[in-house]
Amino acid sequence: MLKPSLVAAPAENPVTLVEAKDFMVVEFTDDDALITSLIAAAASHLDGYSGILGRALINQTWRQDFSCFQSRLRLPLSPFQSISSIQYYDDDNALQTLSSALYSAYEDHLGPYVERVSGASWPSTYDRANAVQVTYLVGYGAANAVPESIKTVIKMIVAELYENRAITIASLMETPIYQSLLSACRLVKV
């Protein structure tokens, strides 16, 4: 399985500028650009494939490539919303789209995956690293659907970085309060 690729980034951040400023009690606009960049930095530290939570916060589209069809095509990000498409390179190395009638998507304790439906068979594929491409939508939805514990951590990180410009996000995340707030939201892969 290759590293997933972001197809469509989230349309918004989980925390707005107004929410962050209210949390920090900042009433002037001079630092709005700085605070906005701190929100983006904090969100990216938690969000997506490289984020420490291992999950998508705001809805976003990802593509996971596989070298061939397998009994289960595991998708590395949660919370799962839907499959946009499954494409594959056939024996002639031509890109084809798999009929959605041939597969179903599920989610278990390890995250989302795709399986073929009973009685169906996977088509044969060309020998290449990205022979099968699953494009899928993940995320909690819009910003108002992101768990409050995650939004609170983002606001806390923004406040800390705003007040103490020398501190790093990584050092903040080692403190018990951050660990406690995020523990229920972290996706653990076994």
Whether 177 maps to a domain, the answer reads: yes
Q: CA-to-CA distance for 25 and 28, rounded, in angstroms?
A: 9
- Predicted structure pTM score: 0.86
Whether 31 maps to a domain, the answer reads: yes
Mean pLDDT of 35-56: 92
Name which residue leads in pLDDT, 151 or 166: 151
Whether 106 maps to a domain, the answer reads: yes
Partner residues linked to 80 by β-bridges:
138
Answer yes or no: do 108 and 81 share one domain: yes
Q: Which domain holds residue 38?
A: 11-55+145-183
Residue 28 has pLDDT above 90, yes or no: yes
Whether 2 maps to a domain, the answer reads: no
The total domain count for the chain is 2
pLDDT at 190: 44
Answer yes or no: do 160 and 132 share one domain: no
Residue 101: CB atoms within 10 A of its CB come to 8
Whether 114 maps to a domain, the answer reads: yes
Min mean pLDDT across 91-95, 141-145, 150-154, 179-183 is at 179-183
Partner residues linked to 144 by β-bridges:
none
Whether 190 maps to a domain, the answer reads: no
Answer yes or no: do 93 and 122 share one domain: yes
Q: CA-to-CA distance for 158 and 96, rounded, in angstroms?
A: 45
pLDDT at 79: 94
Pairing of strands 132-138, 60-66: antiparallel
Whether 34 maps to a domain, the answer reads: yes
pLDDT digits (tens, 9 = 90+) for 96-141: 999 999 999 999 988 999 999 999 999 999 999 999 999 999 999 9
Answer yes or no: do 80 and 44 share one domain: no
- Provide the total of helices (H) and of strands (E) in the chain, helices listed first: 5, 8
